[in-house]
Chain A
């Protein structure tokens, strides 16, 4: 009985968290991912940081909206399939309500000065949250003291910001480098005979 109550509590918390995050997220998928990191890793302590980064990489490389993808994985991690469904509902309901209302009051909405100002200034807050999360994450990458990781982070940043390389391509390249990082030490150590498998 106790575990059942516990599960319902987790599901309810999961719903609350995804619902509020989704209601306050403006902009692309990486925005909500950094909010999720702050909420689930720093505030609730449900996941560790590496896990959240892995979830982000998977969510980014799968088809479909990134926030939904991340919710699916996060929900599964917290409470299996039921968790997945709850997290999807939490993420999808706020925009559905907002958009349904707006599609009725579209003209009033577009011409309302106060709403426009609020939406504009909130970006400063969203940017601050993302920077806060990035500072924590980047510190930990630097702490690994591995030249490969620090180099990959710098190169990926320069690549997206200055050369407009797509996120997908960057993840694929790093996936390749990661696989090479596993295979090369094995090849170097083992005799020629065992190389055939690759």
Chain B
């Protein structure tokens, strides 16, 4: 079974292009449908946890599935399977990138990609903000959460003005927000 898990997660790692959310249906297919290692209910719980906790969703899922089915060793094997394709493919791409990126033509092609990446990061930021301000409810004005809005504004101000580090900001909002909510 360990070998089967390993191969399943290699497939997940190899065919999930475009990040965590693209990996979810693949993991479901491998674990729930093909190998029947988990029920759909367990799988839904897994996705909830994977989204709530830090770290890449596919690594979270791999660890969770592995632990459930074969303990810590299973967790390591599944995660390894998930990472291995990335390791080889990205290593090769990194090699070519650093070899050829100084070429004029390559520079110009990359320059056209960069604005798109900025937009993609912005759109990811926007969806996290919406999730933070509305807590999963419909994004209408009546549902806005004042505490989170305040925290966001203060955090952004501190970042722009005093250049605090990302960890300070995220940890700080976590502590401040939890304290505020426990008093109201």
Contacts and interface: CB of A to CB of B under 8 A. Distances in A.
Contact of A27 (B79, B87, B119, B124): B124
B14 interface: yes
B178 A128 contact: no
Given A65-B19, A95-B53, A124-B132, A103 B171 contact: no
B148 A121 contact: yes
Interface stretch (A7-15, A135-143, A190-198): A135-143
B91 interface: yes
Q: Which of B68, B91, B114 has the most CB of A within 10 A?
A: B114
B54 A25 contact: yes
A132 B90 contact: no
B31 interface: no
Given A73-B93, A117-B181, A127-B152, A122 B170 contact: yes
Interface in B78-110: 79, 82-83, 85-87, 89-91, 93-95, 97-98, 101, 105, 108-110
A26 B133 CA distance: 15
A179 B113 CA distance: 10
A137 B120 CA distance: 12
Interface string B50-66: 11111111111001100
B89 A127 contact: no
Nearest to B15: A63
B128 interface: yes
A103 B64 contact: yes
A64 B181 contact: no
A161 B126 contact: yes
Interface string B146-168: 01110110011001100101110
Given A95-B56, A132-B159, 18 more contacts: A27-B51, A27-B124, A34-B124, A56-B117, A63-B85, A67-B59, A92-B59, A99-B49, A109-B49, A118-B178, A120-B135, A121-B148, A127-B152, A130-B125, A137-B118, A149-B114, A152-B119, A173-B116
